[in-house]
Structure 1
Amino acid sequence: MTTASEIAREGTLRAARRETARTALLNATAGILSEATQIEASLSEISRRSGVNSAMIKYYFGDKQGLLMALLEREAEREMSGLDALVAMDVSAERKMTIHVEGIVNAYYRSPYLNRLVHYMVEAGGPEASARVSDMFITPMMAAYRQIVAQGVREGTMVDVDPALLYYALVGAADHIFFAAYSVPTTLGVAKVDVGIKQAYATLLRDLFLRGLRPDKD
């Protein structure tokens, strides 16, 4: 006769197997998208890389769109979770902007498909998906920018710039070197962006944005 503890243990093992398979599918999809210039990942390739039967995509995520949304949600949880903590830090607005610029470049370096996936889900997922993406990424970033800029204005280190325009400028600049990875061999003379180039780019963007946000002393 099966005991209650054995049933509980089997349930725990099944849950662990489900989570392992689910994570493998997400990781495989992320790996494929990191190598591509478009949001293209076939079910067969995801299955091959993950070692999980492609039928499990429907079981865990409903369909490929559900898988992509789950990947985006995982990225949002990782990248957006620190924004509230950043805003609440007892440091200057310029220090917060420095941390954020370096963080967003690191995010695109780690997940170069991220901004493309955001746009894809907004365009292909319909109104509901668009609203979810906005709630995950755009709304928290806009809220953080408003507070950081307002603090910078109070401290006299930033002009009262429109947070929406700052969002477009910073996200566009941080993403483009990874979006345009095809051009890196021509522009930088290397096969791909490495850690050193990534850090140099983050430093350049930090300096450009901090200097550009400072009030004119004349």
Structure 2
Amino acid sequence: MDAPSPVKSKPPARPAGERDPERTRAAILAAATEEFTAHGLNGARVDEIAKRSGVNKRMIYYYFGDKNGLYLAVLEDIYADIRNAEIRLRLTDRDPVDAMRELVAFTWNYFIEHPEFLSLLGTENLHRAKHLKTSKKIRELHSPLIGIITALLARGVKAKVFRAEVDPVQLYITIASLGFFYLSNRFTLSTIFGRDLGTPDALAERGKHIEEVVLGYLRP
């Protein structure tokens, strides 16, 4: 009588969705961005993220570990989006004044078009960057931006159109803050000053003002 064939053990079952990991991960991140934007970190619910994404909750834990891991991935993702968009502007190939004006305008318009970016940054600042401090990617993501600004400043100084010794980090913080503060506080500011600061005309006026403030500062 022949010996019975050895029973082959089955490989571990794949969680549903693992066959298309990029698509599944993107769906989870998109849904999580909406949920964290709407409810903050503490108010967000993994069940709701699963529902929004159409992905089994088990897959969320499979890819991101827990809610904090998913939240950090969302933060890294939104930062990667804006940094990649800045790189695509190809600013270092252009006249330094025009390129700096474009960076200012881009930053302002990006903030307007991506309110989730401002909301999530506000949430993380309430947590004193507790989660962002654990990121292994965040500083690497920002290095190209500072490199671009540094190169523009150097070319502008050489062409005698920019003042010398401008700190690129300080400059970017100024560019971002002039837009961030306005948009984050436009409802209270509108009430205080009796002007609707959220109309298209008001936003366009503010964008032009930011450009003039930054370029005026950079003039030698």
Give the structure-2-normalised TM-score: 0.72
Displacement, 1:147? 1.1
**40, 45, 50: which one pairs with 1:42?**
45
Determine helix, strand or coil for the equivalent of 1:112: helix
Determine helix, strand or coil for the equivalent of 2:118: coil
Displacement, 1:14? 5.7
Contact 1:83 1:140 in 2 (8 A): no
Q: Which residue of 2 aligns with 1:59?
A: 62
**Distance change in 2, residues 1:74/1:127 (3 Å):** closer
Map 1:111-190 onto structure 2 (within 5 A): 111-116=117-122, 119=125, 123-125=129-131, 127-129=133-135, 131-137=136-142, 139-160=143-164, 161-183=166-188, 185-186=190-191, 187=193, 189-190=195-196
**Alignment of 1:24 onto 2:27:** yes
**Aligned amino acid, residue 219 of structure 2:** R
Contact 1:93 1:152 in 2 (8 A): yes
**84, 88, 102: which one pairs with 1:81?**
84
**Distance change in 2, residues 1:147/1:71 (3 Å):** same
**Cα distance between partner residues in 1 of 2:183 and 2:168:** 23
Could you tell me which runs of 5 or more consecutive residues in structure 2 were left unpaired when the two chains were aligned: 1-16
**Cα distance between partner residues in 1 of 2:66 and 2:204:** 37
Deviant stretches of 4+, over 6 Å: none
**Alignment of 1:68 onto 2:71:** yes
Q: Report the more deviating stretch, 166-175 or 109-118.
A: 109-118
Is the radius of gyration larger for structure 1 or structure 2? Answer: 2
Give the structure-1-normalised TM-score: 0.73
Could you tell me which runs of 5 or more consecutive residues in structure 1 were left unpaired when the two chains were aligned: 1-12
Q: Percent same amino acid among aligned pairs?
A: 22
**Aligned amino acid, residue 111 of structure 2:** Y
Residues paired across the two proteins, number: 197
**Cα distance between partner residues in 1 of 2:132 and 2:124:** 12
**Cα distance between partner residues in 1 of 2:162 and 2:185:** 30
**Aligned amino acid, residue 107 of structure 2:** I
**Cα distance between partner residues in 2 of 1:177 and 1:35:** 20
Q: Which residue of 2 aligns with 1:213?
A: 218
**Cα distance between partner residues in 2 of 1:135 and 1:118:** 19
Contact 1:122 1:133 in 2 (8 A): no
Q: Which residue of 1 aligns with 2:208?
A: 203
**Per-residue CA distance 1:14-52 (angstroms, 9 max, x = gap):** 634x4444223222222234445x544232332343333
Determine helix, strand or coil for the equivalent of 1:152: helix
